[in-house]
């Protein structure tokens, strides 16, 4: 059974065996390219030319012609790394967590989600929030700043943890058909007050999560407008261990907004942080804590 992994990079293979059949005569779908391939293999001055490099170059050239910045070919080594991350492991086979930081600030719990690229992401968040509430957290800040995305379903399932009901995200395929992801049953943390932190590097799956929280009235968004990536990709495994990441759909927010190149606009806009801030202050975090009724002065940075 073919497995397609929906990510929230077919290529031309020189000497390809996939052909179009007209009557009984095989016809190459790209006759000029096929002729060039034959000439290079039979006439080029250097007979030891690297066929793998030729194939990779042809694939990349084909995909570049699509003019889609998100569609790309992934080589076998990179694809192995992606699959390990998605299974919750890094290259050393050590289990990794979606939650990259967790702490209690006064009575407010704080978690940072570094990426939504693990299928165990919702479980990781659930465990972290439970731990914080057991420590006395009465409110929650979820930080998805610099989160460039990952698996759309992981982001949707994390959002479901905090939603009582409603739409999580809408998807539109190439034919214009809209499919809707809804909350199937009340989440486990539907009453805890929450704020989501975002910035201009929050993209894709992170924007799906933030929009679900914002547009369902579940919590406030604090920070800067997000990146604005509304394209969704699928990973298609290819022969030889490589893969194609192909844009197959775009998504809309629960309310039907297209955020392409616009992003999620925070409820509370706070000046962009400077990474080299010598004082280590985090004004976005402090505003979030104040919104939740906590004490924000002099907290320092948790970035």
Rounded Cα distance, 129 and 152, in Å: 21
Query: Between helices 152-160 and 121-134, what is the axis angle to 10°?
Result: 30
Rounded Cα distance, 138 and 107, in Å: 6
Rounded Cα distance, 253 and 33, in Å: 42
Strand 139-143 relative to strand 25-27, pairing: unpaired
Give yes or no: 204 in active site: yes
Q: What token pair was written down for 264?
A: 């999620």
Rounded Cα distance, 263 and 265, in Å: 6
Helices (H) and strands (E) in the chain, counts: 7, 14
Number of Cα atoms under 13 Å in the Cβ half of residue 94: 3
For 124, counting Cβ atoms within 10 Å of its Cβ (0-12 exposed, 13-18 middle, 19+ buried), the class is buried
pLDDT in tens for each of the 303 residues of the chain? 444 455 553 322 233 333 344 445 567 788 898 899 899 989 999 888 888 888 889 999 999 999 999 999 999 999 998 888 777 665 555 556 778 888 988 899 999 999 998 888 999 999 999 999 999 999 999 999 999 999 999 999 999 999 999 999 999 999 999 999 999 999 999 999 999 999 999 999 999 999 999 999 999 999 999 999 999 999 999 999 999 999 999 999 999 999 998 999 999 999 876 654 546 789 999 999 999 986 444 343 344
Report pLDDT for 96.
Answer: 60
Report pLDDT for 92.
Answer: 52
Given a contact cutoff of 8 angstroms between Cβ atoms, the answer to whether 204 and 263 are in contact is no
Give yes or no: 220 in active site: no
Q: What token pair was written down for 268?
A: 């509370």
Report pLDDT for 125.
Answer: 96
Q: How far is CA 219 from CA 42, 61, 193, 212, 270, in A?
A: 65, 44, 7, 9, 16
Among residues 118, 202, 229, 242, the one annotated as catalytic is 229
Among residues 118, 202, 204, 242, the one annotated as catalytic is 204
Strand 268-269 relative to strand 25-27, pairing: unpaired
Beta-bridge mates of residue 20: 27
Given a contact cutoff of 8 angstroms between Cβ atoms, the answer to whether 184 and 157 are in contact is no
- Domains of the chain, start order: 5-82 (no CATH), 92-231+249-291 (3.90.226.10)
Q: What are the start-end ranges of the E strands in 36-173?
A: 72-74, 99-105, 108-113, 139-143, 167-173
Report pLDDT for 100.
Answer: 83
Given a contact cutoff of 8 angstroms between Cβ atoms, the answer to whether 8 and 149 are in contact is yes
Rounded Cα distance, 252 and 212, in Å: 10
Q: Which helix (H) or strand (E) holds 85?
A: helix 76-86
């Amino acid at each position: 059974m073919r497995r397609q992994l929906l990510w929230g990079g077919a290529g031309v293979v020189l000497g390809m065996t996939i052909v179009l059949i007209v009557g009984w005569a095989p016809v190459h779908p790209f006759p000029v390219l096929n002729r060039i391939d034959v000439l290079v293999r039979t006439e080029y001055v250097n007979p030891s030319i690297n066929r793998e490099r030729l194939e990779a170059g042809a694939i990349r050239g084909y995909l570049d012609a699509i003019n889609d910045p998100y569609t790309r070919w992934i080589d076998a080594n990179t694809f192995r790394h992606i699959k390990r991350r998605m299974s919750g492991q890094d290259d050393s086979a050590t289990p990794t967590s979606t939650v990259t930081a967790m702490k209690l600030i006064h009575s407010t719990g704080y978690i940072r989600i570094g990426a939504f690229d693990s299928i165990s992401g919702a479980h990781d968040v659930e465990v972290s929030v439970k731990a914080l509430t057991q420590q006395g957290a009465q409110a929650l800040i979820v930080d998805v700043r610099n989160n460039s995305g990952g698996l759309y379903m992981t982001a949707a399932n994390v959002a479901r943890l905090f939603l009582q009901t409603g739409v999580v995200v809408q998807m539109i395929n190439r034919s214009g058909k809209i499919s809707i992801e809804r909350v199937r049953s009340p989440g486990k943390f539907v009453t805890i007050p929450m704020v989501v932190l975002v910035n201009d590097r929050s993209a894709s799956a992170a924007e799906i999560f933030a929009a679900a929280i914002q547009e369902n009235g579940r919590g406030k968004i604090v920070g800067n407008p997000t990146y604005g990536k509304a394209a969704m990709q699928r990973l298609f495994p290819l022969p030889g261990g490589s893969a194609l990441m192909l844009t197959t759909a775009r998504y809309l927010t629960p309310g039907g907004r297209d955020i392409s190149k616009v992003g999620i606009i925070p409820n509370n806009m706070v000046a962009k942080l400077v990474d080299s801030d010598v004082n280590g202050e985090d004004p976005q975090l402090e505003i979030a804590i104040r919104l939740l009724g906590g004490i924000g002065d002099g907290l320092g940075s948790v970035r």
